[in-house]
Amino acid sequence: MAGENWGMIVDVDKCIGCQACVVACQSENNIPINEEKHFNERRAIEWIRVERYWEGEFPDVKARFIPIMCQHCGDAPCEPVCPVFATYRNDEGLNVQIYNRCIGTRFCSNNCPYHVRFFNFWEPEWPESLHNQLNPDVTVRSRGIMEKCTFCIQRIRRTKRTASRAGADATDEEFERSLDPACVNACPTETLYFGDFNDPESKVSAMKEKESKRDGRAYTMLENLGTNPGVIYLKKIDKHAEDVAHG
Ligand code: SF4
């Protein structure tokens, strides 16, 4: 890939499960507010979720958290099954979704092993008090549309425009922070890192290089499926196991 290859690194060891990323994503991307009724009908809608799981046996049991969003796969199972090419991989390494092309067959969602695509089963409604908080840079999707994490593509586009007016690259230090998706900005523990894997100078490239070595912590989700995800996870550091190993 010649241009950028946007991707993310998620350091599971740092996640405290606070859900700030979930709220930031909802606010940035005009994600409809779910209600108990819809939720009970299994109609979830959130572009990033934080899954909780337990490790250990009582009483030495610990809660663990793992944020999961669209993995922007290099070989995405959602793409070939869409009959109208509403979802495809662009030349920046993003798996994009064209809302006005989507006809709502939901084949993509059925074929996504990560369960990160969400269908608008109802016409979105916001309380009067929240009308002014809708983000004008992001489309308000109507009923019948499939949607999912875009790595906040509106921020990438805005940063590129600003950088090009200043005669710089979007990945220059000055612009780097404004590229970050809302979830990355909001995370209080710096669990999430966003950047260009094609740029050898980027933080994500350096982390990938370091953590992919033999004793590194890098892994991708459901690696055996060969989806070639653009999101790399760093596994939890198990202090107890390390202490045992080092006597
Ligand atoms: S904001 Fe950061 S620490 Fe909180 S749940 Fe999300 S990824 Fe985890």
pLDDT digit string, tens, across residues 100-147: 999 999 999 999 999 999 999 989 888 888 888 999 999 999 999 999
Alpha-carbon span 78 to 98, nearest angstrom: 13
Q: Provide the residue ranges of all domains of the chain, joining segments of one domain with +.
A: 6-245
- The answer, yes or no, to whether residue 244 has pLDDT greater than 60, is no
Alpha-carbon span 145 to 157, nearest angstrom: 23
Q: What is the pTM of this model?
A: 0.91
Provide the token pair at 132.
Answer: 């002014």
For ligand 1, say whether the CB of 181 is within 6 Å of any of its atoms: no
Alpha-carbon span 197 to 22, nearest angstrom: 24
At 149, the amino acid letter reads C
For ligand 1, say whether the CB of 187 is within 6 Å of any of its atoms: yes
For ligand 1, say whether the CB of 130 is within 6 Å of any of its atoms: no
Between residues 80 and 170, which one has the greater pLDDT? 80
Q: What is the 3-state secondary structure (H, E, C) of 5-72?
A: CEEEEEEHHHCCCCCHHHHHHHHHCCCCCCCHHHHHCCCCCCCEEEEEEEECCCCCCEEEEEEEECCC
Mean pLDDT across the chain:
92
Ligand 1, atom 2: nearest CA belongs to which residue? 187
pLDDT of residue 111: 97
Q: What is the mean pLDDT of residues 151-177?
A: 90
Q: What is the mean pLDDT of residues 32-44?
A: 86
The C-alpha angle 176, 30, 18, rounded to 5 degrees, equals: 70
Q: Sorting pLDDT into bands at 50, 70 and 90, what band is 246?
A: low
Q: What is the mean pLDDT of residues 153-168?
A: 93
Under a CB-based contact definition with an 8 Å cutoff, are residues 14 and 180 in contact? no
Under a CB-based contact definition with an 8 Å cutoff, are residues 189 and 14 in contact? yes
pLDDT digit string, tens, across residues 177-230: 899 999 999 999 999 999 999 999 999 999 999 999 988 999 999 999 999 999
Q: Sorting pLDDT into bands at 50, 70 and 90, what band is 39?
A: confident
Q: 6-245 architecture in CATH?
A: 2-Layer Sandwich (3.30)
Residue among 155, 195, 183 nearest 50 (CA): 183
Cα of 103 vs centre of ligand 1, distance in Å, is 33
Q: What is the mean pLDDT of residues 57-62?
A: 88
Alpha-carbon span 19 to 17, nearest angstrom: 6
Secondary structure (3-state) at 125? coil
- The answer, yes or no, to whether residue 245 has pLDDT greater than 60, is no
